[in-house]
Structure 1
Amino acid sequence: MENMWLVASEWLGLALVGGLLAGWTGISISLMEIAVGVIGGNFLGLHTTPWVDFLAGVGSILLTFLAGAEVDPEVLRTKFKESVSIGVIAFLLPFAGALLYAYYALHWTLQAAEIAGIALSTTSVAVVYAVMVETGLNESEIGKIILAACFVNDLGTVVALGILFANFNGWMLLFAIVMAIVLAFIPRFTRWYVARYGNRVSQLEVKYFFFLLFFLGGLASMANSEAVLPAYLIGLAVAGFFLQEKNLALRMRTMAFAFLTPFYFLKAGLFVSLPAVVASAGIIIIALLVKIITKFIGVWPATRFFKFEPREGMYTTLLMSTGLTFGTISSLFGLNHGYISQAQYTILVTVVILSAVVPTMIAQAFFRPDLVPAPKQEKRRHVLIPQKEEGN
């Protein structure tokens, strides 16, 4: 019987190494944790346990929830046509292109090809958001449109994953009804609940969100869908609330990235076989080109239609070609449910990782818009609010 504490120290030790490497190199922490997971799986004998699988699952759900909660509803309203059009096109064409390539050229099964289409249709909100903040473009009009389009793109991938692999039975009907009711009432109820029970030592607001994520994720799983679907929708529903409750968002983000998401990203890298990467190098390169080219075919003309400057259009197209979080989530979903093999998983995750790096480097080096960010508002002072005692 394995020593649970030593296994936990091994996983968190690798997460610590990944974090240090990310700090030294400036590379995304998610990418570094996946890379360390690849090393752990290929050279250190790292393997999963049931409790590791659970923590990795919680990490993916919470990460998806937080991604949805990052949406700025005001941007979606003011730049609705641009963000929705670019986001939808950026999902549809790569999805169709990757699916057809996997099904007809690689002779994968239809379900495996559908997983490939979903995994390679994504845009990395994590990568794009980090780039926007780092360059200050998140305060510009072009930056806000790109971020909103990313959210629309990834919503399409999450919905596709939920629909294509769901069982349309009584459980699906129950899930749809409960989900509709929750989405209708959660924005207003959440504000009332947190105002009434928030800021206590027991962190009742955090428990509230975890209950919703677990309960709706459980219903989604009973319908053979994926728990990330309700997590993303709940995040979108409470995005306006989280924009005002920065402290709560920070606490949940800290919890996720400090302890939960490392298990998910390390596990994502764990199943990448380096011999399979070498053996499938040609397939990986072509799949990467399929993703990037189909993104260009769809997004570049859309940017011209909305009168983006050529440099801005190319920058937008390259950033919309990135992928990471939802690409690995959908690939791992396919592997865990037996829709794809480990060799196919290796191909998809390798393409996803390359798509997070290559387009971003090209965009930043050659097409970064020469824009001046809007003046930032004076930062508010953060006053430490004493937590309520239990029972108050």
Structure 2
Amino acid sequence: MENMWLVAAEWLGLALAGGLLAGWTGISISLMEIAVGVIGGNFLGLHTTPWVDFLAGVGSIILTFLAGAEVDPVVLRSRFKESVAIGLLSFALPFGGAFAYAYYALGWTLPAAEIAGIALSTTSVAVVYAVMVETGLNESELGRIILAACFITDLGTVVALGVLFANFNAWMVLFIAVTAVVLAIVPRFSRLFIQHYGNRVSQLEIKYLFFLLFLLGGLASMANSEAVLPAYLLGLAVAGFFLEEKNLTLRMRTMAFAFLTPFYFLKAGLFVSLPAVITSAGIIIIALLIKIATKFIGVWPATRFFKFEPREGMYTTLLMSTGLTFGTISSLFGLNHGYISQAQYTILVTVVILSAVVPTMIAQAFFRPDLAPAVKQEKRRHALIPQKEEGN
């Protein structure tokens, strides 16, 4: 029997190594954790356990929820055309390109090609949100537009997966009904709950949110769907409230990034088998190029149409080209239900993970917008307000 504490130390040691490497190299910590996971799986014998799978699942749920909560409803309404246009193009063209490549060029079955189209059409909420938080761009309008566009893209993924593969049974009806009721009442009820029970040592507000996430996630699983899908919608439902409750957001973000998300990102890297990657290298490279090229064909012209600065447009396009959370979820869904083989699964997951790494590294290295002066000016403005009041 394995020693649970030593296994935990191994995983958190790798997470610590990833964090140190991220600090030394300037690369996003989420990407470094994926890279360390690849090394751990191929050279160190790293493997998952049921409790690691649970923590990784919770990490993906919380990260997806926080990403939805960062979608500013005001920005989504005021920049609705930009968000919807970029988001839809970011989904539709890669879906068509990946489906055509898998079905016509590789000769995959129709369901396998549909899974390929869904998996490679996604934009990684987890990676984009992690990068936004690390760089502080989540506080900028550009960052919020990107997060809103991510929401539209992944909403297309959810709808496609549901329409093409969901089982419309009693559990699906119950899941849809409960989710609709929760989303309708949760914005107002959350305010009342936290006004009465918030800011206590017992952290009841966080327990309350975890209860809702696990409840909807459990119903989604019973309906043959995925637990992260309602988490995104729940985050969006409370987004306006969360933007006011900065302290609550910070506590949940700290908990997620310190302990939960490292298990998710390390496990994502663990999916990559280097021998299988070498065997299918040609297919993987072409599929990656198709995903990135179709993202550029759709997103870049849209950013120019909406008069983004060239640097911001390229940065937006590259981040919209990433994939991870919903891409791996879609691939795993296909494998678990027999729509794709293990070899096809390895190809898709490798492309998804490479799409999380390559565009993000290019965006961060060469096209990251310089928003620091505006952020610093905003912080100085807030810092001066109490001094003025004291002077009066």
User: Does TM-score exceed 0.5, indicating one fold?
Assistant: yes
CA distance in 1, matches of 2:281, 2:298: 26
What is the one-letter code of the residue matched to 1:376?
E
What code does the residue aligned with 2:150 have? C
Contact 1:272–1:345 (CA under 8 A) maintained in structure 2:
no
- Residue of structure 2 equivalent to 1:229: 229
- CA positional deviation for 1:137: 5.9
CA contact (8 A) 2:28 2:134 kept: no
Aligned to 1:346: 346
**What are the Cα deviations for residues 118-144 of structure 1, in whole angstroms up to 9, with x where unaligned?**
222122345445655677766665554
Q: Distance in 2 between matches of 1:34 and 1:370?
A: 26
Name the CA shift for 1:335/1:38 in 2 (closer, same or farther; >3 Å). farther
TM-score between the two structures when normalised by the length of structure 1? 0.88
Residues 19 and 29 in structure 1, CA contact (< 8 A), matched pair in contact too: yes
1:165, CA displacement in angstroms? Answer: 3.3
Over the matched positions of the two proteins, sequence identity in percent amounts to 86
Deviates more, 1:351-360 or 1:370-379: 370-379
* 1:387 paired residue number: none
CA shift, 1:352, in A, is 2.5
* Aligned twin of 1:218: 218
* Closer/same/farther in 2, CA of residues 339 and 64 from structure 1, 3 Å limit: farther
Deviation at 1:111, TM superposition (A): 3.3
Task: Identify if the C-alpha distance between structure 1 residues 250 and 233 changes in structure 2 by more than 3 Å, giving closer, same or farther.
Answer: same
Rounded Cα–Cα distance in structure 2 between residues aligned with 1:139 and 1:240: 14
* Per-residue CA distance 1:282-341 (angstroms, 9 max, x = gap): 111101111111112222332343344555544432332222333334334444555444
Correspondences of 1:168-317 after superposition (within 5 Å)? 168-308=168-308, 310=310, 312-317=312-317
Secondary structure at the aligned position of 2:322 is classed as: coil
Contact 2:64 2:125 in 1 (8 A): no
Output the TM-score relative to the length of structure 2: 0.88
Distance across 1 between alignment mates of 2:342 and 2:331: 10
Cα pair distance change 1:222/1:314, threshold 3 Å: same
Pair 370,217 (structure 1): closer, same or farther in 2 beyond 3 Å:
closer
For residue 282 of structure 1, give the secondary structure of its aligned residue in structure 2: helix
Question: Residues 143, 70 of structure 1: CA spacing in aligned structure 2 closer, same or farther, 3 A cutoff?
Answer: closer
Pairs within 5 Å for 1:21-100: 21-100=21-100
Distance 1:97 1:58, change over 3 A: same
| Structure 1 residue 84, shift from structure 2 partner | 0.8
Pair 1:292–1:269, CA change in 2 (3 A):
same
| 1:386 matched residue in structure 2 | none
CA distance in 2 between counterparts of 1:300 and 1:270 reads 32
Cα distance change of structure 1 residues 6 and 128 upon mapping to structure 2, 3 Å threshold: closer
Count, aligned residues:
382
1:169-226 superposed Cα distances (whole Å, 9 cap, x missing partner): 1111111111111111000000000111111111111111111111111111111011
* Bigger Cα displacement from structure 2, 290-299 vs 313-322: 313-322
Report the secondary structure of 1:95's partner residue: helix
Over residues 85-121 of structure 1, what are the superposed CA-to-partner deviations in whole Å (9 max), with x where a residue is unaligned?
A: 1111111111121122122222333333333222221
User: Which stretch shows the higher mean deviation, 24-33 or 131-140?
Assistant: 131-140
Return the structure number with greater helix share.
2
The answer on 1:153 being equivalent to 2:153 is yes
Aligned-partner Cα distance in 2 for 1:156–1:55: 27
3-state SS, counterpart of residue 122 of structure 2: coil
Say if 1:260 and 1:290 are closer, same or farther in 2 by CA, change over 3 A.
same
1:376 maps to which residue?
378
Amino acid at match of 1:43: F
Q: Which amino acid aligns with 1:278?
A: I
What CA distance in whole angstroms lies between the structure 2 residues aligned with 1:320 and 1:89?
10
Amino acid at match of 1:62: I
CA distance in 1, matches of 2:243, 2:309: 30
CA RMSD of aligned residues (A): 2.7
Query: Which one-letter code corresponds to 1:293 in the other structure?
Result: A
Cα deviation for residue 376 of structure 1 reads 1.8
Are the aligned partners of 1:136 and 1:373 in contact in 2 as well (CA < 8 Å)?
A: no
